[in-house]
Each structure stands twice: as structure tokens, then as C-alpha cells.
Amino acid sequence: MDKKKQSLSSRLGTYAVGLSVLVVAIVVVLNLAVAQLPESAREFDISDNRLYSLTDTSKDFLATLDLDVRLVVLASPDNIDGRITRFLSNYDAASDRVSLEYIDPVLYPSALETYEAEENDIVVLCEETDKQSIVRISEMIEIDLNYFYQYGQIYETSFDGEGLITSAVDLVTSETLYTLYTLTGHGESELPAVVTDAIAKQNLALNSVSLLMEGAVPDDCSLIISYMPIMDFDTQEREMLEDYIAGGGKVMILCDQTDLENVNALLAEYGLAYVDGYIADPSRYYQNNLYTIFPMLATGHPIIETLPADSLALVANSRGLRSLDDRRDSLTVQYFMYTSDNALAVLEDGGMTEDRYLLAATSTESDENGGGCLTVIACPTLIDEYLLTNFATVNLNIFMNAVTNNFEDISTISVPAKSLETVYNTIPSASTWSIVFIAVIPLVCLVFGLAFWLKRRKL
């Protein structure tokens, strides 16, 4: 090889080595630069149901946030489910008002005492309002307990991180807090867990009270709920409730017992009464059960007007209500759930009366005392846990709207949990598309393949 070729070969080799070094250097610098970007800018959410992305509800809420909020995670990031840490980093990046920090209680055990929390808690706090809320990391990923008890395996159903964190941020930055009380002492049932969770998500405090033991309605009470009492109120209790409503208070009764004297007297005082029998609706029933019905919803009522026009509720074994004609002029009775015109009130002896029946109504006092309100729901199964968890209805929305009805400055922020169920690709109208995928596409590929083969063979 002559000297010119050797020189050219040497220069080309040097150029190749230099170019390789330059490319490696660019890659290294680019990686270092990208590593400095926040995690939310380096990763894309391609998960089912946009697991790590914030919903518009949270985005709009954070956009209007005018107070600084700290998220203090009392755990090491290495010991937390990666889905949770990734979501928290996205939440932190969504607002300059939100800051995120991790404190390992193993290394700093005093942190648990400082924040009055436990390991694996997320402390959400706002120093300007001096409020804090605790979110349990264990509650962010929900599991099917029945599946676990039956098969001994953990089956994840939903991710509720966004709902819990957004509600907590709303709580610590809001000034108004309403307190609800459930009545006790009459064999009442406990509110289902899904209902108490919804109440907590709207940052409403929930306590219980016995009026006879307390001697009066608590001063901080915003609403009293009597859920499925099986025994009658005492006369003193009825009088306390009447005085409470007359003074502007709010009472909600969900009861399917029609023979409770003082309960009936309270309803009559506010222009409502039960009808005898259970309600069947031949025009709006579920499958083969005339007593499991889809109520009509009064779209003009404040409790219903925010719901989609095609919303469905489902109740079972409901009682009926009627509005009394001789009620006082200061009362305004409005129904928000009712039956079709040919519903039946069926008595135990088999007798029945056809009519349109009210299933839920509000009676508001329109006078100088501030407009107290009695809400009566004659179908307590509106919030039955089985119906709430197994049917896609607006039952819970109706109940929560009824709870917050007439509350001023109430926060309506509530982000539902995101499903972790496996999502399969399905093709609607398979009868049409199956022909395309099974016959047309394979046939087109076969024809083009055959034509290409014939063309190559002639060459």
C-alpha cells in the first residue's frame, strides 16, 4: 500500500474515532440533561384509564389554588408502590403551590410525633390555615376483599390516589367545614362504607348523636340523618327535631317503617305522610321484580338538576309518600323521586291502589327563621351497598346532593377511583367487523402477495 493510501486510511480512521467520541459525548450530555428534568416530563402515561394523569377536576382545582400545600410522605420511596410515587410526582408537578417531600421514619422517627401520624401515611398540610389531613397509602389501591378471603390472593380493583389527595388538599385549604350527625338509639343501621367514604371525600365531618343523652341538637350540627330506624322517636326527640328545623336546621330521614307514631308526626308537621303498602311499578321495574324499580327523577329539583338527563337510579322495596293538602303556607314541598302514573301501593293482604307516588321529597320552611328543611327518602335502599357497588346508577350522587342541598360554599370536588381492571380490546358490532378482519384483509393480502410473486417470477 502506497503512502497516500496509508495517509487517507489513517485520516479516515481518525475521523471515525473522533465522530464516535463526539456521538458518545452527545449521548452522555443528553442523558445528563434529560435526567435533570422532572419525572413528569420524562415519562408518558400510557396506562389504562390514565392512571398517573390528573383529571380535569383536579387540574381545575389546582389552577385556582392560592395557598401553599405540603405533601409529606412518611416512608422511603423505595418501600412504596411505584405507581403511587409516580402519581405523587405528577401531582407535585401540576402546581407550583404543591410541594412533595419524603421523610423515612426509620431514619427520622421523631417525624411521626411531629406530624402526629404513622409510618406509610401522607400528611397533607397547609401552614396558612393551620390544617392538616392524613391519607393512608394502604387505602390508595383498593382490593377485592371477597376475592382475597375466597382465593387467598390479592386482586386489585381500583386506584384512588387522586381522589384522596385532591380531597385532602381541598380540606386543608378550605375555610368552611360542615358537620353531619347520624341519630342513634332507635335501631338505626350504619351508613354503608361507600357512603361514608363519599362524605369524607367532600370534607364533611361525620359523628353520631343520641338526642336523649345529649339533651339537645349539637351546636355544630349542619345536618341530622336518621338512617333506617326500626323504633320510634321519643316525643322529646321529635320536639327537639322540630325546634331544630324551625330554627333553620336540616334533617334527613331514610325510613321504610310506616307505623312509627312520632316519625309520622314529624313528617305531618312538614306536610308529608307515608302511604300504606310497598310500591311496585309495572312501567319501570328491573328484570322480573316489580318492587325493584327505576324512579322518575324530577329534573327541576336542585338535588337532581345537576345530573345528566338520562340518569338512572335503582331502589328496592320502597315505601310511598304523599303531600298533605292542609299544610301551612310557609312550607314548600318538592319531590325529587317519584313513580310512573300506574304504580301500585301493595298491601300485606293483597290489596293495591294504583296512582303516582312520591319516593323522596324535601319540605322547606320559607320564613324569617332561615329556611329549615326536612328531607324524607322513603326508599332507604337508595344507598344500599349492594346496589351502589353492583349497578351503574346515580344513587350515590342523589344522596350526596341531598346531603349538601342548601349548604352554602360547599365544595363539590370529588374524584372517583380509577379502575385497575384489565381492559381488553373489543370490537363493537362484531358481525360487521369480523368479516373485514377474518375475510377481507386476509384476501387482500393474499391477492397482493400472489401478484407480487407472479411479477418476480417473470423477471
Query: CATH number, domain at 115?
Result: 3.40.30.10
- pLDDT for 38 beyond 60: no
Final residue of a structural domain among 122, 137, 165: 165
Do 186 and 158 fall within a single domain? no
Do 196 and 281 fall within a single domain? yes
In-domain check, residue 367 = yes
Do 155 and 243 fall within a single domain? no
**Domains in the chain: how many in total?**
2
In-domain check, residue 294 = yes
- pLDDT for 295 beyond 50: yes
Do 250 and 349 fall within a single domain? yes
In-domain check, residue 402 = yes
Answer for the pair 291, 352: CB distance below 8 angstroms, yes or no. no
Closest alpha carbon to 379 in 293, 292, 318: 318
Do 392 and 301 fall within a single domain? yes
pLDDT value at residue 146: 76
pLDDT digits (tens, 9 = 90+) for 338-357: 999 999 999 988 899 999 99
pLDDT digits (tens, 9 = 90+) for 39-57: 555 554 445 566 668 888 8
Do 184 and 327 fall within a single domain? yes
Closest alpha carbon to 168 in 193, 131, 196, 222: 131
In the chain, DSSP finds a helix count (H) and a strand count (E) of 15, 23
* Distance from C-alpha of 371 to C-alpha of 366, rounded to nearest angstrom: 5
pLDDT value at residue 411: 61
Do 321 and 348 fall within a single domain? yes
Do 238 and 296 fall within a single domain? yes
Domain with residue 340: its CATH number is: 3.40.50.880
How far is the CA of 239 from the CAs of 72, 233, 274, in angstroms?
A: 48, 10, 20
In-domain check, residue 340 = yes
* Distance from C-alpha of 393 to C-alpha of 300, rounded to nearest angstrom: 19
pLDDT value at residue 121: 94
In-domain check, residue 444 = no
Do 144 and 187 fall within a single domain? no
Final residue of a structural domain among 368, 395, 410: 410
Pairing of strands 221-227, 179-183: parallel
pLDDT value at residue 429: 47
Our CA angle for 191, 195, 199, nearest 5°, is 110
Q: What confidence category does residue 151 fall into, taking pLDDT thresholds of 50, 70 and 90?
A: confident
Do 244 and 157 fall within a single domain? no
Q: What confidence category does residue 70 fall into, taking pLDDT thresholds of 50, 70 and 90?
A: very high
Handedness of CA 196, 229, 257, 216 (dihedral sign): negative
Query: Which domain, by its residues, includes 150?
Result: 48-165
Q: How many CB atoms within 10 Å of residue 331?
A: 18
In-domain check, residue 451 = no
pLDDT value at residue 347: 93
**Total residues found in the chain within this entry:** 459
Whole-model pTM?
0.65
Percent of the chain with pLDDT over 70: 86
In-domain check, residue 152 = yes
* Distance from C-alpha of 107 to C-alpha of 75, rounded to nearest angstrom: 10
Residue 388 has phi, psi (to 5 degrees) of: -70, -35
pLDDT digits (tens, 9 = 90+) for 208-227: 999 999 999 999 999 999 99
